[in-house]
Amino acid sequence: MMQTDKIHIEKNSVQETLIVPLYGRKMCAEKYPDLYTDTSAKMLCERLDHDFSALEARKDRFFYEFGALEAAMRQLDIMWEIEDYLRSRPNAVIVDLGCGLDQTGRACDNGTCKIVNIDLPDIIAVREQLLPAGERGKNIACDLKDHKWMNEVDGTEGALFFAAGVFHYFKAEDVKELVLALAKRYKGGRLIFDTVGKQGLKLMMSKTLKTMGIQDIEGLFYVNHPAKDMGWSEDLKVSSRGYMLGYHDMKNKGIRSLHRLLARIGDNWFKMAVHRIEF
Q: In this predicted model, what pLDDT tens digit does every residue of 195-253 receive, in sequence order?
A: 999 998 887 776 666 555 666 667 799 999 999 999 999 999 999 999 999 999 999 98
Between the CA of residue 156 and those of 82, 193, 262, what are the distances in Å? 17, 22, 42
**In 196-270, beta strands by DSSP E:** 237-242
Q: In this predicted model, what pLDDT tens digit does every residue of 25-68 receive, in sequence order?
A: 999 999 999 899 888 888 899 999 888 898 899 889 998 899 88
DSSP string covering 34-51? TT---TTHHHHHHHEE--
Q: Can you give the pLDDT at residue 201?
A: 85
Q: Can you give the pLDDT at residue 271?
A: 96
What sign does the dihedral 66-50-116-110 (CA atoms) show?
A: negative
Between the CA of residue 264 and those of 17, 133, 205, 244, what are the distances in Å? 27, 37, 18, 7
Predicted TM-score of the model (pTM): 0.93
Q: At what angle do helices 62-88 and 19-31 cross, to 10 degrees?
A: 90
**Pick among 3.40.50.620, 3.40.50.150, 3.30.465.10, 2.60.120.260: CATH of 7-278:** 3.40.50.150
Q: In this predicted model, what pLDDT tens digit does every residue of 139-154 receive, in sequence order?
A: 999 999 999 999 999 9
1: confidence class by pLDDT, cuts 50, 70, 90: very low
Q: Spell out the residues 6+ positions from residue 44 whose beta carbon is closer than 8 angstroms to its own.
A: 22, 26, 101, 130, 131
Question: What residue spans define the domains of the chain?
Answer: 7-278
Question: Which percentage of the chain shows pLDDT scores above 90?
Answer: 67
